[in-house]
Amino acid sequence: MFGLALLGGLPAVVVALWFLFSGDTSDSVRWTFAVLIVAAWLLFALALRERVVRPLQTLSNMLAALRERDYSLRARRPNTEDALGLVMLELNVLTDELKERRLGALEATALLQRVMGEIDVAVFAFDEDAALRLVNASGERLLGANAERLLGRTAVELGLGACLEGEAPRVIKLAFATASDRWEVRRGSFRQGGRPHQFVVLADVSRALREEERRAWQRLIRVLGHEINNSLTPIKSVAQQLQQLVSGNGSSELSRDDLDKGLELIATRSESLTRFLSSYARLARLPSPKLGKVDVAAWVQRVARLETRVPVAVTPPPGPAAVLRADGDQLDQLLINLITNAADAVLATGAGAGAGAGGTGRVHVRWGPAAGSQDLEVVVEDDGPGLPETSNLFVPFFTTKPKGSGIGLVLSRQIAEAHGGSLTIANRRDGPHGCVARLQLPLG
Is 0.75 surpassed by the pTM of this model?
A: no
6 and 54 fall within a common domain: yes
Q: Would 107 be classed as within a structural domain?
A: no
Query: Which of 50, 72, 101 is a domain's end point?
Result: 101
158 and 256 fall within a common domain: no
For residues 85 and 76, give the distance between their C-alpha atoms in angstroms, rounded to a whole number. Answer: 10
65 and 170 fall within a common domain: no
Query: Which of 204, 231, 265 is a domain's end point?
Result: 204
For residues 224 and 211, give the distance between their C-alpha atoms in angstroms, rounded to a whole number. Answer: 20
135 and 169 fall within a common domain: yes
For residues 155 and 134, give the distance between their C-alpha atoms in angstroms, rounded to a whole number. Answer: 12
For residues 182 and 171, give the distance between their C-alpha atoms in angstroms, rounded to a whole number. Answer: 6
Average pLDDT along the chain, 444 residues, taken 10 residues at a time: 63 71 71 78 73 75 83 74 78 85 79 74 88 86 84 87 83 74 84 84 78 70 67 74 66 63 75 67 69 90 87 87 87 88 82 46 88 84 78 56 61 86 85 84 81
* Radius of gyration, CA atoms only, the chain: 45
25 and 62 fall within a common domain: yes
Q: Which of 401, 400, 428, 397 is nearest to 410 (CA)?
A: 397
Q: Which amino acid is at 90?
A: E
Q: Would 106 be classed as within a structural domain?
A: no
Range of the domain at 95: 2-101
User: Which pLDDT value is given to residue 377?
Assistant: 92
User: Which pLDDT value is given to residue 276?
Assistant: 63
Q: Would 179 be classed as within a structural domain?
A: yes
Cβ atoms < 10 Å from Cβ of 412: 24
Q: Which of 407, 324, 391, 335 is nearest to 365 (CA)?
A: 335
Sign (positive or negative) of CA dihedral 145, 149, 154, 157:
negative
221 and 199 fall within a common domain: no
Secondary structure (3-state) at 381 = strand
Report pLDDT digits (tens) over 323-350.
Answer: 898 988 888 888 988 998 888 888 877 6
191 and 275 fall within a common domain: no
Taking the alpha carbons at both ends of the chain, their separation in whole angstroms is 79
How far are the Cα atoms of 305, 313, 341, 409, 440 from residue 363, in angstroms, in the given order?
12, 6, 10, 17, 19
What does the chain come to in residues?
444
6 and 73 fall within a common domain: yes
Query: Which of 68, 101, 134 is a domain's end point?
Result: 101
402 and 435 fall within a common domain: yes
Give me the number of domains the chain comprises: 4
Residue 159: CATH number of its domain: 3.30.450.20
Residue 254: CATH number of its domain: 1.10.287
300 and 436 fall within a common domain: yes
Q: Which of 410, 426, 403 is nearest to 333 (CA)?
A: 410
- Bridging pattern class, strands 422-427 and 435-442: antiparallel
Q: Would 307 be classed as within a structural domain?
A: yes
For residues 89 and 92, give the distance between their C-alpha atoms in angstroms, rounded to a whole number. Answer: 5
352 and 423 fall within a common domain: yes
- Start-end of H helices in 119-189: 137-143, 147-150
124 and 74 fall within a common domain: no
